[in-house]
């Protein structure tokens, strides 16, 4: 070192110093630019110095979205209800979104935890110095926004394309419904109780996209608990429900006289299919295809359409 | 009477043992304890997750045990539990409203994130008790207080149901709150609960004479020349603060408050002074053990601790009853 320095003339030394300063500036600048903030659904801004590499997701729809934008390999832990795609089933489970295991989450050393806005664990994790981004998609617009946000958060380019693919997929499914079968009045039972899917929910939006009418009015909210009488009075053309709640439908008072029940115009979805239908995320085209198939199959059975 | 100090010592020692076990078990097992000195994450798990949650479970249980002993003495009813005066339903309603308002654009909703669910539950618990006191027109009449508490409990519960019906998406979060959960307790929560427990315990100890007097009947208590009204009011505030603090941090952990005083009574015949203290220690131990079992039973996942307290405390109480009736029948 000493000998090298002695070889330098003062001018060369200055040049070298300038070069080093330049290098330092050039190398430092991107590091500065890389620090960014992401605002989550509760309005909390979370600061990141580098894109997160280790991600824990506590909501199935967020897990699916992370995978859909091509960041599945960054997931290191998921909640116990996340079951799609296949790869996430091998990941450590850290409890449910509402009863998560704080210790297991911290032990995974996540760079960021994705949680639902209503989850109580966010406050606790933040107190422990873990970065939490709370996102909760509830409508189709939310899904697009969450995709964009996750793309921004994980620094994945082309996340918008996933959102466009979803829209295109839903539109294609809508195209597959023959015009003769459009305009049917549908009752979609979101869960027993009975809770219906209203027009404001993403399921209701999808029904509208498929050209179907909803017997539930928008004034009742996204997933209202309804009086079974309401369904009897509305007498829907078609009923869609999950296997869990469809079982006792004909036994509900007055329901055996419903046209849809008498003509067996009831689509019962299996448990896997319900997962697809009730999660606002990248599998919405698949959900739309399930609904479209329900409509066309019922139509074909009655010879109303091909 | 001489058994009380030994019993207290035994309960404290067992609690220390529970604390030691609580620090060493969890979803990551002993590894975290072994590497706690080298690995910062393991150290964080031991020092900032396991230690505060075990201590927090003990503190929650102690608050509930204390509340149970005070409630049973105050109402002269062995079935009284600390949630009797409407604190549980008040807390639940407040949590439901906070959850439903979360993210709503209403002006009042701006308060919610600042208060947090914990703050909302505490305010709700105190509000429920206030409403009960208002309806009962003070604390003079035990029966009126009891009835008002039951009414407030049902009415606030119904309003909570209305809120959850209007916003069904909060239902799942409500269930999580109702099952009780000690896993989210941190050092700050421990500090809050300790700050409530110590003065509440001291006050209950100082006022235990009233409870002793009341156990002989209201008229006798009067004839003893005790200033009943202010002392009762003080005991009610002990009850409200203790349960409010516990509910806010850990949700509705059932049965500890009811069972702890009975467990203590089954071990020794005591006046209310030592009874309130020992019930607090017993409640703390019960919940600390339940918290550990909740972590171990289906590891690496966890059971909600409230489910376990009912099973653990309930079976022991049943066994006690069975033993006592069989013993009585044999004699």
Judge whether B156 and B129 are in contact, CB under 8 Å.
no
Q: Which residues on chain B are in Cβ contact (under 8 Å) with A80?
A: 301
- C-alpha to C-alpha distance for B237 and A81, rounded to whole angstroms: 43
Instruction: Calculate mean pLDDT across residues A28-51.
Output: 78
Q: Residue A10: CA atoms inside 13 Å, Cβ hemisphere, count? A: 0
Of A128, A157, A186, the position where a domain reaches its end is: A157
Shared domain check, A271 and A229: yes
Q: Are the C-beta atoms of residues B225 and B36 closer than 8 Å to each other? A: no
CB B261 within 8 A of CB B87: no
State whether A189 and A114 are in the same domain: no
Task: In whole angstroms, give the CA distance from residue A56 to residue A116.
Answer: 12
| A141 shares a domain with A185 | no
* Host H or E run for residue A267: strand A266-269
CA distances from A199 to A204, A223, B34, B75, B219 (A): 4, 9, 55, 52, 64
CB-count exposure of residue B43 (10 Å: 0-12, 13-18, 19+): middle
Tell me, what's the pLDDT at A2? 42
The CATH number corresponding to B51-326 among 1.10.238.10, 1.10.3470.10, 3.40.720.10, 2.60.40.10 equals: 1.10.3470.10
Q: How many domains is chain A partitioned into structurally?
A: 2
Residue A4 lies in a domain: no
pLDDT at A4: 44
Residue-level pLDDT at B104: 55
Ordered by start, the domain boundaries in chain B are 51-326
CB-CB neighbors (< 8 A) of B186 in chain A: 124, 127-128
The CATH code of the domain that includes A84 is: 3.40.50.1980
Q: How far is B85 from chain A (nearest CA, A)?
A: 26
Give the confidence band of A11 by pLDDT, cuts at 50, 70, 90: low
The A-side interface with B (CB below 8 A) comprises 41-43, 80, 92-93, 95, 98-104, 106-107, 109, 117-121, 123-124, 127-129, 138, 195, 221-225
Which ipTM did the prediction report?
0.74
- Average pLDDT in the A105-131 region? 89
Contact A103 B45 (CB under 8 A): yes
Q: What is the mean pLDDT of residues A141-168?
A: 91
Q: Which residues of A touch B40 (CB under 8 A)?
A: none
Shared domain check, A283 and A213 = yes
Q: Given an 8 Å threshold on Cβ–Cβ distance, is B301 in contact with A93?
A: yes
DSSP A95: B
Q: What is the pTM of this model?
A: 0.79
Q: Does B176 contact A120 at a Cβ distance shorter than 8 Å?
A: yes
Q: Residue range A167-172: average pLDDT?
A: 93
Mean pLDDT of A84-108: 87
> Of A237, A207, A262, which Cα lies nearest the Cα of A249?
A262
Domain of residue A118: give its range.
37-157
Q: What are phi and psi of B292, to 5 degrees?
A: -65, -45
């Amino acid at each position: 070192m000493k000998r090298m320095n002695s070889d330098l003339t003062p001018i060369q030394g200055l040049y070298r110093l300038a070069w080093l300063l330049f290098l330092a500036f050039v190398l430092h600048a991107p590091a500065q630019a890389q620090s960014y903030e992401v605002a989550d659904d509760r309005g909390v801004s979370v600061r990141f110095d580098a894109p997160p590499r280790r991600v824990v997701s506590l909501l199935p729809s967020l897990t699916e979205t992370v995978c859909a934008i091509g960041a599945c390999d960054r997931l290191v832990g998921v909640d116990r209800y996340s079951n799609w795609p296949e790869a996430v089933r091998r990941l450590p489970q850290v409890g449910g979104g509402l009863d998560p295991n704080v210790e297991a989450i911290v032990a995974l050393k996540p760079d960021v935890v994705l949680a639902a806005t209503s989850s109580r664990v966010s406050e606790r994790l933040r107190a422990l110095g873990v970065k939490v981004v709370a996102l909760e998609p509830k409508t189709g617009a939310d899904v697009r926004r969450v995709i964009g946000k996750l793309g921004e958060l994980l620094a994945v380019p082309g996340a918008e394309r996933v959102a466009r693919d979803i829209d295109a997929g839903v539109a294609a499914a809508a195209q597959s419904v023959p015009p003769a079968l459009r305009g049917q009045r549908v009752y979609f039972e979101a869960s027993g109780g009975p809770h219906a899917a209203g027009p404001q929910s993403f399921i209701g939006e999808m029904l509208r996209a498929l050209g179907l009418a909803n017997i539930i009015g928008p004034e009742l909210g996204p997933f209202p608990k309804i009086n079974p009488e309401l369904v009897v009075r509305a007498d829907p053309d078609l009923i869609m429900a999950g296997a869990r709640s469809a079982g006792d439908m004909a036994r509900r008072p007055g329901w055996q006289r419903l046209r849809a029940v008498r003509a067996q115009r009831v689509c019962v979805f299996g448990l896997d299919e319900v997962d697809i239908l009730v999660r606002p995320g990248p599998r919405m085209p698949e959900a739309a295809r399930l609904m479209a198939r329900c409509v066309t199959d019922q139509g074909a059975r009655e010879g109303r359409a091909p | 009477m001489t058994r009380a100090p030994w019993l207290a010592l035994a309960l404290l020692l067992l609690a220390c043992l529970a604390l030691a076990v609580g620090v060493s078990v969890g979803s990551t097992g002993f590894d975290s304890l072994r590497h706690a000195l080298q690995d910062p994450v393991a150290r964080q798990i031991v020092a900032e997750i396991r230690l505060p949650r075990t201590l927090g479970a003990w503190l929650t249980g102690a608050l509930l045990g204390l509340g149970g002993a005070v409630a049973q003495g105050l109402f002269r009813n062995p079935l009284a539990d600390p949630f009797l005066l409407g604190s549980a339903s008040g807390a639940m309603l407040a949590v439901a409203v906070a959850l439903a308002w979360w993210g709503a654009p209403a002006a009042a909703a701006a308060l919610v994130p600042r208060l947090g669910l914990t703050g909302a539950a505490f305010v709700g618990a105190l509000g429920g008790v206030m409403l009960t006191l208002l309806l009962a027109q003070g604390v003079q009449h035990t029966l009126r207080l009891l009835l008002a508490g039951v009414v407030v409990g049902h009415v606030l519960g119904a309003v909570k149901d209305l809120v959850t019906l209007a916003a069904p998406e909060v239902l799942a979060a409500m269930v999580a709150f109702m099952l009780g959960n000690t896993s989210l307790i941190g050092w700050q929560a421990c500090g809050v609960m300790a700050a409530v427990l110590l003065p509440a315990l001291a006050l209950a100890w100082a006022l235990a004479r009233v409870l002793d007097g009341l156990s002989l009947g209201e008229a006798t208590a009067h004839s003893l020349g005790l200033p009943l009204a202010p002392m009762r009011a003080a005991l009610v505030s002990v009850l409200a603060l203790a349960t409010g603090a516990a509910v806010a941090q850990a949700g509705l952990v059932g049965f500890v408050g009811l069972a702890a005083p009975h467990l203590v009574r089954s071990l020794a015949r005591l006046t209310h002074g030592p009874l309130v203290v020992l019930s607090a220690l017993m409640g703390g131990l019960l919940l600390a053990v339940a918290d550990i079992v909740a972590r171990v039973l289906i590891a690496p996942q966890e059971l909600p601790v409230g489910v376990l307290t009912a099973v653990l405390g309930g079976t022991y109480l049943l066994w006690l009853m069975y033993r006592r009736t069989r013993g009585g029948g044999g004699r």
